[in-house]
Amino acid sequence: MLATMLIREAMPHDWPRMWAFMEGIVRAGETFSWDRGTTESQARQMWFPKPPGRTFVAVDADETVLGTANSVRNHGGGAAHVSSASFMVDPSHSGRGVGRALGEHVLEQARKDNFRAMQFNAVVETNTRAVTLWKSLGFEVMTTLPAGFHHPVHGYVGLHIMYQQL
């Protein structure tokens, strides 16, 4: 883990450094369920949700953006107490604890925001690093949609719905 990592609310000036690595993740289409042709404008609109949604960045001492996450209300009405979140870590900084730190931060913030649970709607089963991380942070695989994700390398693979009561 990076000793000098800070997680803070994302600011508009962070976007170019976020998109610099997010674009490659989106275009690869291996771990994230956005359309591979998502434009920068569309991505920015989706990644910065309206309140009570939040967007975070993990930065080092030089303000290099190492990863980002957003947290949103998963549904409205009677299900408004369940949050969801999405995460992207710059591949050049993977394996350094960025995803874990962002996950812990988002879970803590969801509790502070009075959410009672967090649900991930789409964790690609071949993204074993993410599945292992989320399980280590207390998430359970509630179900897997068989062939729910069309992976560009592995073909149709399962898509996990993961959940944690807060």
**pLDDT (0 to 100) of residue 158:** 98
In a domain, 17, yes or no: yes
The pLDDT-based confidence of 1 (bands split at 50, 70, 90) is: low
Is the pLDDT at 2 greater than 70, yes or no? no
Kindly state the percentage of the chain with pLDDT values over 90: 96
In a domain, 66, yes or no: yes
Q: What ranges make up the beta strands (E) of 38-97?
A: 54-59, 65-73, 82-89
Handedness of CA 107, 82, 142, 38 (dihedral sign): negative
Q: Tell me how crowded residue 21 is: count the other CB atoms within 10 A of its CB.
A: 19
Quick one: which of 110, 134, 115 has its CA closest to 123?
134
pTM of the model: 0.94
Kindly state the percentage of the chain with pLDDT values over 70: 99
In a domain, 1, yes or no: no
CATH of the domain at 64: 3.40.630.30
Alpha helix (H) ranges present in the chain?
A: 15-28, 40-47, 98-112, 128-136
Quick one: which of 127, 118, 130, 123 has its CA closest to 148?
123
In a domain, 48, yes or no: yes
Is the pLDDT at 98 greater than 90, yes or no? yes
Residue 71 dihedral angles phi and psi, to the nearest 5°? -130, 130
Interval 10-30: pLDDT, tens: 999 999 999 999 999 999 999
Query: What is the domain range of residue 101?
Result: 6-165
The structural domain count of the chain equals 1
Query: Could you tell me the end-to-end alpha-carbon distance of the chain, in angstroms, rounded to an integer?
Result: 25
Is the pLDDT at 48 greater than 80, yes or no? yes
Is the pLDDT at 3 greater than 80, yes or no? no
The pLDDT-based confidence of 90 (bands split at 50, 70, 90) is: very high
In a domain, 77, yes or no: yes
